[in-house]
Chain A
Amino acid sequence: MPIEILMPALSPTMTEGTLAKWLKNEGDAVVAGDVIAEIETDKATMEVEAVDEGILGKILVPGGTEGVKVNQPIALLLEEGEDKSAPAAARPTAKPGVPAAESVAATARAVMAAPAAAAAVAAEHEWTGPTKTLTVREALRDAMAEEMRRDDSVYLMGEEVAQYQGAYKVSQGLLDEFGDRRVIDTPITEHGFSGLAVGAAFNGLRPIVEFMTFNFAMQAIDHIINSAAKTLYMSGGQMGCPIVFRGPNGAASRVAAQHSQCYASWYAHCPGLKVVAPWSAADAKGLLKSAIRDPNPVIFLENELLYGQSSEVPDDADWTVPLGKAKIVRPGKDITILAFSIMVGKALDAAEALAAEGIDAEVIDLRTLRPLDTRTILDSVRKTNRVVSVEEGWPYAGIGAELSAVIMEQAFDWLDAPVARVSGVDVPLPYAANLERLALPQAQHIVEAAKAACYRS
Chain B
Amino acid sequence: MAKAAAKRGPRGKSTPAASSEELLHHYREMLLIRRFEEKAGQLYGMGLIGGFCHLYIGQEAVVVGAQAAIGPEDSVLTSYRDHGHMLATGMDPRGVMAELTGRIDGYSKGKGGSMHMFSREKNFYGGHGIVGAQVPIGTGIAFAYKYRGLNNVCLTYFGDGASNQGQVYESFNMAALWKLPVIYIIENNKYGMGTAVERSSANAELCQRGRAYGIPGESVDGMDVQAMKAATEKAVAHSRAGKGPFILEAMTYRYRGHSMSDPAKYRSKEEVQKVRSERDPIDHLRALLLEGGHADEDALKKIDRAVKDIVADAAEFAQNSPEPDPSELWTDVLVEA
Identify the A interface with B (CB < 8 A).
6-12, 14, 32-33, 41, 43-49, 51, 70-71, 91-95, 97, 99, 103, 106-107, 110, 114, 155, 181, 186-187, 189, 191-205, 222-223, 226-227, 231-240, 242, 271-272, 274, 293-296
- A189 near B170: Cβ-Cβ < 8 Å: yes
Which B105-143 residues have C-beta < 8 A from chain A?
106-112, 116-120, 125-130, 133, 135-143
A270 to B269 alpha-carbon distance, docked (Å) = 45
Which residue on chain B has the smallest CB distance to residue A6? Answer: B46
Interface hub of A44, A51, A155, A272 (most chain B Cβ within 10 A):
A51
19 A-B pairs within 8 Å (CB atoms) are namely A8-B45, A10-B260, A10-B261, A12-B261, A32-B38, A70-B46, A71-B46, A191-B170, A205-B147, A205-B148, A222-B133, A227-B128, A227-B130, A233-B332, A234-B116, A236-B111, A237-B109, A271-B333, A296-B337
Identify the B interface with A (CB < 8 A).
35, 38-39, 41-42, 44-48, 50-52, 57, 75, 102, 106-112, 116-120, 125-130, 133, 135-145, 147-148, 166-167, 170-171, 173-174, 177, 255, 257, 260-261, 263, 265, 276, 319, 323, 326, 329-335, 337
A200 touches which one: B42, B143, B265 (CB < 8 A)? B143
- A103 near B326: Cβ-Cβ < 8 Å: yes
Rank and list the top 4 A-B pairs by shortest CB-CB distance, nearest first. A199-B140, A8-B45, A192-B170, A195-B136
Known: A9-B45, A191-B170, A199-B136. A239 touches B329 (CB 8 A): no
**Min distance, Cβ B70 to any Cβ of chain A, angstroms:** 15
**Min distance, Cβ A273 to any Cβ of chain B, angstroms:** 9
Known: A11-B261, A238-B120. A33 touches B144 (CB 8 A): no
Note all chain A residues with C-beta closer than 8 A to B128.
227
Which residue on chain B has the smallest CB distance to residue A92? Answer: B319
- B116 near A110: Cβ-Cβ < 8 Å: no
**Min distance, Cβ A201 to any Cβ of chain B, angstroms:** 8
A312 to B95 alpha-carbon distance, docked (Å) = 54
Note all chain A residues with C-beta closer than 8 A to B140.
195-203
A33 to B31 alpha-carbon distance, docked (Å) = 13
A43 to B260 alpha-carbon distance, docked (Å) = 12
Note all chain A residues with C-beta closer than 8 A to B136.
191-196, 198-199, 223
Known: A12-B51, A237-B332. A202 touches B137 (CB 8 A): yes
- A106 near B326: Cβ-Cβ < 8 Å: yes
A432 to B57 alpha-carbon distance, docked (Å) = 60
- A192 near B335: Cβ-Cβ < 8 Å: no
- A236 near B46: Cβ-Cβ < 8 Å: no
A254 to B136 alpha-carbon distance, docked (Å) = 34
- A295 near B174: Cβ-Cβ < 8 Å: no
Note all chain A residues with C-beta closer than 8 A to B44.
8-9
B332 touches which one: A110, A191, A199, A232 (CB < 8 A)? A232
Known: A232-B335, A240-B335, A272-B333. A8 touches B174 (CB 8 A): no
Note all chain B residues with C-beta closer than 8 A to A204.
144, 148
**Min distance, Cβ B99 to any Cβ of chain A, angstroms:** 8
